[in-house]
Structure 1
């Protein structure tokens, strides 16, 4: 199993001009338990299934297992997911040696924009782009699994 080390931030201002790729993402949860989530995702024309373990105390690290599956199977599995399918556009932005994934949410989460950066270790330094706002790492309400149950429109 791989260890995912990532930090999350709200986004302020214009980030899209720095993006080199954008992809529509649809995802749902077969299980959104805080102990483990099982996610089905369609990213562009590819399907994925992902299992994530409970995060550590800081919320920065947790175990993650992901495999590509046929997109047709992902579409079928989305029909079995809990209510609250996530719809977003993911933008990839390279900034001073790091890759930021910026998610612009649609539907019931419209207006929410979150950036994630994966790191090699929890203490790795990185340069913050001007559009990077408040850190929300470890704040469960910003987890996609939580946004599927309690969307941004309800806040």
Structure 2
């Protein structure tokens, strides 16, 4: 499992993600007071904070989440769509790049310890 603390606007969020099986992963997310989130980030989180801006792009009933990374992961852009089930059909936009589902290098937990700017060119 992975536990993540983040701040979006003036709200803190605590997210717990389970093990990835195929393209599926359990996820639980809860709002927490911003001050609590800041204290957790300061006192409980390891070095290697992920700095990114998240954009949401609706596609019918679904929504793309597009993360533009900054800092040590500058240059990396990842798009993800949350599906009700793995076999849910969806249109792949023309701007979508290579498929990275299942590549653990792209997990936030991995990017915090081995940032994108340290990777050898693919």
Whether TM-score is above 0.5 comes out as yes
2:16 aligned with 1:48: no
SS in structure 2 at match of 1:147: helix
Residue by residue over 1:117-149, the C-alpha shift from the partner in whole angstroms, topping out at 9 and shown as x without a partner, is 000110111011111111100100001111011
1:147 alignment partner, one of 106, 111, 118: 111
SS in structure 1 at match of 2:98: strand
Match of 2:48 in 1: 84
Superposed CA RMSD: 1.0
Partners of 1:65 and 1:73 in 2: CA distance: 18
Partners of 1:94 and 1:63 in 2: CA distance: 22
Q: Which runs of 5+ in 2 are unaligned?
A: none
Partners of 2:11 and 2:68 in 1: CA distance: 19
Partners of 2:115 and 2:69 in 1: CA distance: 10
Match of 1:75 in 2: 38
Higher relative contact order (CA 8 A, sep 6+): 1
Partners of 2:94 and 2:9 in 1: CA distance: 28
2:66 aligned with 1:66: no
Match of 2:93 in 1: 129
Partners of 1:96 and 1:65 in 2: CA distance: 24
Question: How many pairs align?
Answer: 118
The answer to which structure has the higher strand fraction is 1
